[in-house]
Amino acid sequence: MRLAIREGGAIGTALGFFLVVVSLMPLGLGPDLNLLARIAAGILWIALLLAALLSLNRIFEADYEDGTLDVLATGPLPLELVTVAKSLAHWITTGIPLAIMAPVLGILLNLDLAAYPVLVATTLLGTPAVSFLGAIGAALTMKTRRGGLLLAVIVLPLYVPTLIFGISAVAAGAGPSGFGASFLILAAISLTTIVLGPLAAAAALKVQLQ
């Protein structure tokens, strides 16, 4: 985990990608600030998902290539816990930086200032689901060559609930009602994926390592 931070490359790339995608949006949609403010949450969430997706395939691949994964699999720790650790590491090194970066990019999109705390809260709450669901996809596509594209096809449909409730939580939070039900549902999705995601990912890893 610390190694990932020291290497730095992936996080920097993900953050840079996030920045570039978000700043491309006004170029494509026109610089109308009112329009941008209205769709800012959606743009931020989609760009965040894409940025996280970029770094997903490195969750297991590097460890598989240098044999660490084989050692971990034969070690005393159950593979489920290993995947929990790997997914958590991905969340800490990618999810949290992206979530912190989101409000900064929100300024570019003229996002309402009142929505900032909500935006940070929802992205922080939603990104664990992104990491843990992504770990399943990463484990499934570990050995394939065009893994990145395949990973996107497999994982992006699974992100639909996270995206929908992430955005509706921002929308609800910006209104007078404060944190809405969607915020709680987003939390529920994250918690469920934290519990069930590693089981599926570990099952896939076991097949891969046979």
Partner 1 sequence: MQTLTQRLANPTRFMELSARLLPWISAASAILLAYGLYLAFIDSPADYQQGETVRIMYIHVPCAWLSMMVYGVIAVSSFGLLVFRHPLADVSAKAAAPLGAAFTFLALLTGSLWGKPMWGTYWVWDARLTSVLILFFLYLGLIALRSALEDEGAAAKLTAILALVGVTILPIIKFSVDWWNTLHQPSTDFTSTVDPSMRLPLLVMAAAFTLLFFAMHLKAMRNEILRRRVKALRTQAVAGRDRLAAHATTQGAAE
**Cβ 23 to partner 1 shortest distance, Å:** 26
Report the interhelical angle of 160-174 vs 116-140 (nearest 10°). Answer: 180
Looking at the Cβ atoms of 83 and 93, the one nearer to partner 1 is 83
Question: 71 phi and psi, to 5 degrees?
Answer: -65, -45
From 9-17, 66-74, 94-102, 146-154, span contacting partner 1 (CB under 8 A):
146-154
Give yes or no for a contact between 56 and 138, defined as CB atoms under 8 angstroms apart. Answer: yes
- Residue from the set 164, 171, 191, 194 that interacts with partner 1 by CB under 8 A: 164
Looking at the Cβ atoms of 93 and 182, the one nearer to partner 1 is 182
**Cβ 146 to partner 1 shortest distance, Å:** 7
- Residue from the set 88, 174, 189, 198 that interacts with partner 1 by CB under 8 A: 189
Residue 171 touching partner 1 (CB under 8 A): no
- Which of 56, 93, 83 minimizes the C-alpha distance to 208? 83
**Cβ 200 to partner 1 shortest distance, Å:** 5
Classify 177 as helix, strand or coil: coil
Separation between Cα atoms, residue 159 and residue 169, nearest integer Å: 15
Residue 23 touching partner 1 (CB under 8 A): no
Separation between Cα atoms, residue 69 and residue 22, nearest integer Å: 35
Residue 177 touching partner 1 (CB under 8 A): no
Looking at the Cβ atoms of 20 and 153, the one nearer to partner 1 is 153
* Ramachandran bin of 110, using left for φ above 0, alpha for ψ from -120 to 50, beta for the remaining angles: left
Q: If 0-12 CB within 10 Å is exposed, 13-18 middle and 19+ buried, where does residue 207 land?
A: exposed
- Residue from the set 63, 85, 161, 171 that interacts with partner 1 by CB under 8 A: 161
List the interface residues with partner 1, window 90-129 (CB under 8 A): none
- Residue from the set 126, 141, 183, 190 that interacts with partner 1 by CB under 8 A: 141
